[in-house]
Structure formats: structure tokens, C-alpha cells
Amino acid sequence: MRIAVGADHAGYELKGEITSLLEELEHSYRDFGPHKKDPEDDYPDFGVPVARAVAKGEFDLGILICGNGVGMCILANKVRGIRAALCHDTFCARSSREDDDSNILCLGARVIGVELAEEIVKTWLSATFSGANRHQRRVKKVMGLEERPA
């Protein structure tokens, strides 16, 4: 699986832990940065390229990390074709893939610890969209919002 990964200054350390996990799990990934910790790193500068790369199909999935995960989730969902999910537990990670076909996982580095983050990532990566009619119908309705003016 090809995975795009990005963070801001608050998510920098957790991103390193997650990319190590991806290597252990033998997933192909690209680290969109940052490549050093700088408090001036803003989440849109790293989140937008990840979201666009996933939306274009250059990567199968994406993982974005910031302080609480909210900023990355909001910005990723602004990119057409993205269904980003903020997950702080394994239940949400699994159901976001199985029911909502999420394609970007957002994590809050200041909200969860490394061990839980790793379990969430493993759960999210191992889950797949169920394809159940009710879930297909719901995802189609959500994605249809991108086609209509607000």
C-alpha cells in the first residue's frame, strides 16, 4: 500500500514513530515533511500536498498529524475526493474505513500517546470499506456535496 504522510511542528515526533511503523509493516510511504522540527511549520503547508496526492491517486491513503488532529482533518476535507477521519481510538479508525471509506487518517499528537497512535494506524490500515449498500449510498451522498454549491 502506498501511503502519504505529513505533519506540522506539533506532530513531528509522532510522524517519525508512524513512519517507522509503516516500515515495519512493509508499507511504501512518502514523508511530505516537515523534515526537521520548526515551530513555524504550519499544518496547511504539509497537509494540503498530502491530501492532493491522495485525491489524485498518487497514494492509496494518507496520514496527517498535528497537535489535536482537528486542523489537519478540516483542511484535508476541503480537498475534493478526500474523506479524512480524525481518530483517537481503534473503533473510530476501523469504522471510518469500513463504513465511511476514509482515505486520510488524522491524529492528534497532543491527544494520544505513541502506543495508541500505532494501534490506531494498524487498525485503520487493516480495515477496508465494507461496500455494503447502505454505506455506499451514504458515501455517495457525502461525495455529492462536492458537486453542488452550498
66, 73, 87, 92: the active-site residue: 66
* Amino acid, single-letter form, for residue 67: G
Label residues 38-63 b or e (16+ Cβ within 10 Å = b): eeebebbebbbbbbbbbbeeebebbb
Contact 104, 84 (CB under 8 A): yes
| 66 is annotated as an active-site residue | yes
DSSP secondary structure, 108-143, as one string: ETTTS-HHHHHHHHHHHHH------HHHHHHHHHHH
What distance in Å separates the CA atoms of residue 87 and residue 89, rounded to the nearest whole number?
Answer: 6
Known catalytic residues are 66
